[in-house]
A and B are shown apart, each in its own frame.
Chain A
Amino acid sequence: MSKVLFLGDEAVAQAALDAGLSGVYAYPGTPSTEITEFIQNSKQGKEGNVHSIWAGNEKTAMESAIGMSYAGKRAMVCMKHVGLNVAADPFMNSSITGANGGLVVVVADDPSMHSSQDEQDSRYYAKFALIPCFEPSNQQEAYDITYYAFEMSERLRTPVLIRLTTRLSHSRAGVERKAVRPQNELNVEKDPKQFILLPANARRHYRKLLEKQPEFEKDSLNAGFNRYIDGEDKSMGVIASGIAYNYLMENFPGGKCPYPVLKISQYPLPTDLVARIVDECGKVLVAEEGYPFIEEQLRGVLNRTGNIMGRLSGELPRDGELNPNLVAKALGMPDTYGSPVPEIVVPRPPALCVGCPHIDSYNALNAAMEKYGKGKVFSDIGCYTLGALPPYNAIYTTVDMGASITMAKGAADAGMSPCVAVIGDSTFTHSGMTSLLDAIYENTPITVLILDNSTTGMTGGQDSHALGVLGEICKGLGVKEEHIHRINPLKNHHEENVAIIEKELEYQGVSVIIPTRECIQTLSRRMKKQQAAKKN
């Protein structure tokens, strides 16, 4: 079969479809978004009636996937690394229930934080949950591993985690496909107690999970994704996991590394192979993208032998993503460099688009807040986080999805006044509704701006669950009708918008202001489509 060009994300999506996927569940998040989008746009997915509509958040996505697995079909959940924090409750407990239909959790980490607030390493989550974890090194492996992971999940009756990183998710290469396998028939879990995690059942299931650990490790040894490649020079060995393997091999044209190499793409670690490289080589360099996950396990807290090198020992930097140059330096090879960036070059940070509705919302908010001084606006995750930068300097916090409202509440509880939250429409339905309910329950004096651009903008314009019903949701939760306002974020409405915000800032209870205007990106795309349709 000829090769197809795929992003790492797309290779995962195509493999899942070819492996007989019945549903993907996800909330958009860079760098994982393209997996679900590929399935949404795929002819194969449409013909197979594969579920691919976006979920409200990562937790609801994970739970739906567990439900599909319960019903005997193959399900995949996709998210960015911090999304797994949101899904952690069902994720951790899915390891106790185990899987019926294949259950694969794909998590895309973002080392160097290109589009994220931290660079947490999802391999720890897999270890925490005691389930198998894969870490593909290239696009072909991303395909092969995903295809294999569904089969393994059903064979060992366990959810499986696949960890991607930004550079693999968003890099394209040729991929060879495998045969298409049909979807599973409906086959509901036969053990009536399997998915009832009452303590008595859960204890039994947990022991079963512990008993499976040697099987998981045996699979790591035999599935072929971990490889020992011998080398003549035993003065050093290299353990390279995931994409770090490529950065290692880039330094040896023709693929001939003089040192023994243990390539790791599957966990738990294959103890026999790790023991072999440590025993055979004088010292071992561990190159891994993310946290020093393998290195820390090998050296232990005491670091008695002192012969394990990597991010902890300082041969590689403790934070940020790796690259071929960093690995070359760690190997003691000469570094290469072009010429320095001329001083004349200045940073070009991302900015709100020309015509973006958030600009008018921030201008109105800044005018209304002027008399209260700085530091009283809490915000959230989305395009509007760029309001933290000049020329707006309008917001003072961004921590996690939904935190704007609850942080404003906490600050109000502390006696700060006024307290304002700024959150997007999609972030609000993701994790803001329960926060708002907390404030309503106590009638906390906060003013919440829900910026309604009718889309999930930052990740490229996915549908928003609250489209057209934000006011009704707030009313239903218990915000008083006279304190819910829809405003039009446009320059010629500036004065009246400022007046409405000013008035609600004085109200000693919960008010919600909803600036409503479509994202300029989705609007222009829609217009182009309409024009094209007219022409035809």
Chain B
Amino acid sequence: MKIDIILAGVGGQGILSIATIVGSAAIKRGMYMKQAEVHGMSQRGGDVQSHFRLSDTEIASDLIPMGKADMIISVEPMESLRYLPWLKKDGWLITNDQPFINIPNYPDLGALKAELGKIENCVAINADQIAKDLGSARSSNMVILGAASPYLQLPYEEIENAVRENFARKGDDVVNVNIACLKAGRELAEKK
């Protein structure tokens, strides 16, 4: 098994915690992992991405070749489109459809959703609203992870356990709300 994922978002939106959780689940299975992150200047509200690779066999490159990513997981709609050159033909794009607007020329949201509509395998959900309804607006990244989980080729229980471990030191309430967000995202993706 081998899976290559581009994680996308804006600096400060927490895409790296998605990588940490999936990574720890994969490492427990004895898989190889490589994850290239962006640190430094871009973290100040700029576009950020992470190349995240899992495999049963050794991985050569830290960067995913263009046209070979199995999936784009994004916490922001415009950012999800920035990495289309990496997505393979039958790859999946999973994204939050709620924009993060910190630039004056952010595109029209309707036109943006129309672009997302053109992508064959696309799951675009309002993760912000779901997370808010469940009582933790900050956990929209877990909704997105849940929506991506059916395509990850990892048992759902193992991802859930990794979420539990990741938030354990913050107490049961935080753990439970994040797992609720994960579940809600998964259920929504399965319906689509």
**Which residues of A pack against B, CB within 8 Å?**
3, 5, 7, 30-31, 33-34, 114-115, 138, 167-168, 170-174, 243, 246-250, 255, 323-325, 328, 335-342, 344-353, 383, 386, 458-460
Residues of B within 8 A of A352 (CB): 44
Q: Is the CB of B44 within 8 A of A339?
A: no
Q: Considering the complex of A and B, which 10 residue pairs feature the smallest CB-CB distances, nearest first?
A: A336-B67, A115-B40, A30-B40, A350-B46, A250-B61, A171-B62, A171-B36, A249-B60, A350-B44, A324-B65
Q: Are B102 and A339 in contact (CB under 8 A)?
A: no
Q: Interface readout for B57-94 with A: 1 if CB under 8 Å, 0 if not?
A: 01111110111110000000011011011111101000
Chain A's interface: helix, strand, loop or mixed, by majority?
loop
* 8 new A-B contacts at CB < 8 Å, known A5-B23, A350-B41: A30-B41, A114-B40, A115-B40, A170-B39, A249-B60, A348-B79, A350-B44, A351-B46
Task: Give the contacts of B136-158 with A (CB-CB under 8 A).
Answer: none
Tell me whether B103 and A324 are in contact (CB under 8 A).
Answer: no
With a cutoff of 8 Å between Cβ atoms, the chain A residues found around residue B69 in the complex are 338
Q: Contact partner of B66 among A3, A170, A337, CB < 8 A?
A: A337
Interface hit among B106-114, B125-133, B178-186: B106-114
Question: Which residues does chain A contribute within 8 Å of B105, judged by CB atoms?
Answer: 346
User: In the assembled complex, which residues on chain A have CB atoms less than 8 Å from the CB atom of B11?
Assistant: 350
Q: How far is the CB of B55 from chain A (nearest CB, A)?
A: 10
Q: Is the CB of A167 within 8 A of B63?
A: yes
Binding site for A on B (CB under 8 A): 10-11, 23, 27, 32-47, 51, 58-63, 65-69, 78-79, 81-82, 84-89, 91, 102-103, 105-108, 111-112, 115
| A346 and B40 form a contact (CB under 8 A) | no
Pairwise interchain contact A344-B81, C-beta atoms closer than 8 A: yes
In the complex, how many angstroms separate the beta carbon of A32 from the nearest chain B beta carbon? 10
Question: Considering the chains assembled together, what is the distance between the CA atoms of A459 and B42 in angstroms?
Answer: 11
| A52 to B42 CA separation, bound complex (whole angstroms) | 27
Contacts A114-B41, A338-B84, A344-B111 given; indicate if A167 touches B62 (C-beta within 8 A): yes
Q: Could you say which residues of chain B place their CB within 8 Å of the CB of A250?
A: 60-61, 65
**Are B112 and A323 touching (Cβ within 8 A)?**
no
Expressed in whole angstroms, the Cα–Cα distance for A348 and B69 within the complex equals 22
Would A255 and B23 count as touching, CB distance under 8 A? Answer: no
For B47, the chain A residues whose CB sits under 8 A away are: 347-348
In the assembled complex, 20 residue pairs joining A and B whose CB atoms fall closer than 8 Å, in A order, are A170-B36, A173-B32, A246-B62, A247-B61, A247-B63, A250-B61, A323-B65, A325-B66, A337-B67, A338-B66, A338-B67, A338-B69, A338-B84, A339-B84, A339-B87, A342-B81, A346-B103, A346-B105, A348-B47, A350-B42
- In the complex, what residues of A have CB within 8 A of residue B38's CB? 114, 170
A350 and B112 form a contact (CB under 8 A): no
**What is the CA–CA distance of A338 and B46 in the complex, to the nearest angstrom?**
23
Q: How far is the CA of A345 from the CA of B102 in the complex (A)?
A: 14
Contact A34 B61 (CB under 8 A): no
Verify A345–B82 contact, CB threshold 8 A.
yes
Q: Inside 8 A of B59's CB, which chain A residues have their CB?
A: 173
Cβ-defined contact, A344 with B32, below 8 A: no
Q: In the complex the two chains form, what is the Cα distance from A168 to B103 in whole Å?
A: 31
Q: Are A255 and B58 in contact (CB under 8 A)?
A: yes
Let me know if B10 and A170 touch, CB within 8 A.
Answer: no
Distance in angstroms between the alpha carbons of A34 and B23 in the assembled complex: 20
Can you name the residue of chain B whose Cβ is closest to the Cβ of A249? B60
Q: Which residues of A contact B45 (CB under 8 A)?
A: 348, 350-351, 353
Q: Once the chains are docked, how many angstroms separate the CA of A161 from the CA of B40?
A: 23
CA separation between A17 and B131, bound complex, in Å?
42
Chain B residues whose C-beta falls within 8 Å of the C-beta of A172 in the assembled complex: 23, 33-37
Given contacts A114-B40, A114-B42, contact A246 B60 (CB under 8 A): yes
Please state if A459 and B40 are interface contacts (CB–CB under 8 Å): yes
A204 to chain B, nearest CB (A): 44
Residues of chain A with a CB closer than 8 A to B37's CB: 7, 170-172
| Inter-subunit contact B88/A338 (CB<8 Å) | yes
Q: Which residues of B contact A115 (CB under 8 A)?
A: 39-42
Residues of B within 8 A of A167 (CB): 36, 62-63
Closest chain A CB from B80 CB (angstroms): 9
**Chain B, Cβ-Cβ closest to A356:** B44
Contact A323 B44 (CB under 8 A): no
Query: In chain B, what residue has the closest Cβ to A346?
Result: B105
Looking at the assembled complex, report how far the CB atom of B106 sits from the nearest CB atom of chain A, in whole angstroms: 7
A324→B61 contact, CB < 8 A: yes
Which residue on A lies nearest to B68, using beta carbons? Answer: A336
Instruction: Give, as a whole number of angstroms, the nearest-CB distance from B115 to chain A.
Output: 5
- Name the residue on A nearest B171 (C-beta): A535
With A338-B87, A341-B82, A344-B115: A171-B44 Cβ-Cβ less than 8 Å? no
Complex contacts, A7 vs chain B, CB 8 Å: 37
Interface centre among B32, B59, B65 (most CB of A within 10 A): B65
Report the bound CA distance from A342 to B36 in whole Å: 24
Q: Which residue of A lies closest to B12 (CB)?
A: A353
The chain A residue sitting closest to B11, CB to CB, is A350
Question: Which of B34, B41, B84, B107 is most buried by chain A, counting CB atoms within 10 A of its CB?
Answer: B41
Residues of B within 8 A of A171 (CB): 34-37, 51, 62
Asked whether B10 lies within 8 Å of A348 as measured between CB atoms, the reply is yes
In the complex, A138 Cα to B53 Cα: how many Å? 14
Q: Which residues of A contact B88 (CB under 8 A)?
A: 338
Closest to B57 in A: A254
Query: In the complex, how many angstroms separate the beta carbon of B1 from the nearest chain A beta carbon?
Result: 14
Chain B residues within 8 Å of A33, by CB: 39
Shortest CB-to-CB span from B98 to chain A, Å, is: 16
Chain A residues near B102 (CB-CB < 8 A) = 348, 351
B169 to chain A: closest CB distance in Å? 11
